[in-house]
Amino acid sequence: MCGERFTTFERPAIGATVVKRSGRREAFDREKVRRGLESALADRPVADGAIDDIVARIEASARGGSALVTSDELGKAVLAELRDLDEVAYLRFASVYMEFQGAEDFEREAAALEQRSDDISVR
């Protein structure tokens, strides 16, 4: 015995199929979602386990619907999670997902975030 402890996690083998913008199809890849979140949340003050929780919610949502999910739906789900968690990470992810071309795209999205915050605080 090596004295190490190992843990396994069970997940359903059959999952959702992602339909890409090009029309190409591929199996849902939770690690791809994780990598996108990790990039957006790099060096941000995020609670331990936050990324795991987000990935689990997105995966459950993808598996809970039809057998097909679009990459657009997944991107919007990630954006919604990040919007509530960390605005900087949201803007990082949005800049890639929405293909920002310049500072005006950041300004527009930051203004939309600010408006959303104002709307929520008024309630």
Distance, CA of 43 to CA of 30 (rounded, Å): 21
pLDDT in tens, 49-67: 999 999 999 998 887 767 7
Distance, CA of 13 to CA of 28 (rounded, Å): 11
**Could you give the residue ranges of the DSSP H alpha helices within 9-49?**
30-40
Sequence-ordered list of residues with C-beta below 8 angstroms from that of 76, at least 6 positions apart, any chain: none
Distance, CA of 99 to CA of 57 (rounded, Å): 25
And the tokens for 113?
Answer: 């975030």
The pTM score is 0.77
pLDDT under 70: residue ranges of the chain: 1, 6-14, 65, 117-123
